[in-house]
Amino acid sequence: MALSGKNFQAFPGQDHRAHITSHLNFMATNIARNNPVVMAAMEKNIFEHISLMSQEQIELEFPQELQQLAQMNQMAQNNPQIAQAAQQISQKIEARKAVLIAEMMEEFLKEEREVTSGFGDDPIAKLRARELDLRAADNERKRKEGEERINLDRMKAMMNQREHEDKLDQNADLAKMRAETSIEKTILSKSIPNVDKMMPNIEIEKYEGENR
């Protein structure tokens, strides 16, 4: 299935160690080790077996705790104390599971090194390894470019927001100045007499003075 590019996965209850051993032996063949896609598919399936194997070991070591945890989770919604106790049990189980996975991964890596120790003498394997390194470097470059693009977009958004806020502040200041100017004009219009209305009286007084 790996050679044909079909998906396959591990299931609970399988002989996980036997599957891992068979996968490692297959990975040691020329047809597998010269095909990065096949190697990646086999390693992915091995990791699935390790995860299931650790979970099944947890079920053997903590049967009562798991049963108790299931009951407590049902009552935890309305009882903070039960929720806290359930969290402590869950953390204890997860800590043990992490240790199991670490031990199993270390064992797998040792076996994988033994299987792949002869890869260095194969020129095709070297070429494939070089291709993987170049692909990894290209992916890292794309990741960094993506981060830089995101940061640049954030900076542009912040600058646009700042310009928008500055424009709002300017508009607010102009509106305030207009309002103050309008108030001043209103006050002046009420406090200073209208010159046009005063002019006729002045002319009349001047004319009457000359007649006298």
pLDDT of amino acid 10: 93
Q: Quick one: 84 and 128 in the same domain?
A: no
Beta carbons of 50 and 22 less than 8 angstroms apart: no
Q: What are phi and psi of 62, to 5 degrees?
A: -125, 55
Q: Quick one: 113 and 148 in the same domain?
A: no
What is the total count of domains within the chain? Answer: 2
- Note down the domain range covering 179: 122-212
pLDDT of amino acid 151: 76
Side chain identity at residue 37, one-letter code: V
Rounded to two decimals, what is the model's pTM? 0.52
Side chain identity at residue 204, one-letter code: I
Beta carbons of 49 and 77 less than 8 angstroms apart: no
Q: Quick one: 10 and 86 in the same domain?
A: yes
Q: Quick one: 193 and 101 in the same domain?
A: no
Boundary of a domain, candidates 121, 137, 170: 121
Boundary of a domain, candidates 102, 121, 140: 121
Q: Quick one: 53 and 132 in the same domain?
A: no
Q: Quick one: 42 and 58 in the same domain?
A: yes
Place of tokens 């080790």: 33
Q: Quick one: 92 and 46 in the same domain?
A: yes
pLDDT of amino acid 198: 47
Q: Quick one: 29 and 90 in the same domain?
A: yes
Q: Quick one: 104 and 164 in the same domain?
A: no
CA–CA separation, 59 vs 52, rounded Å? 11
Q: Quick one: 72 and 130 in the same domain?
A: no
Q: Quick one: 98 and 130 in the same domain?
A: no
Side chain identity at residue 144, one-letter code: K
Residues of the chain with pLDDT under 70: 116-130, 132-133, 136, 184-185, 187-212
pLDDT of amino acid 205: 46
Side chain identity at residue 65, one-letter code: E
Boundary of a domain, candidates 104, 121, 138: 121
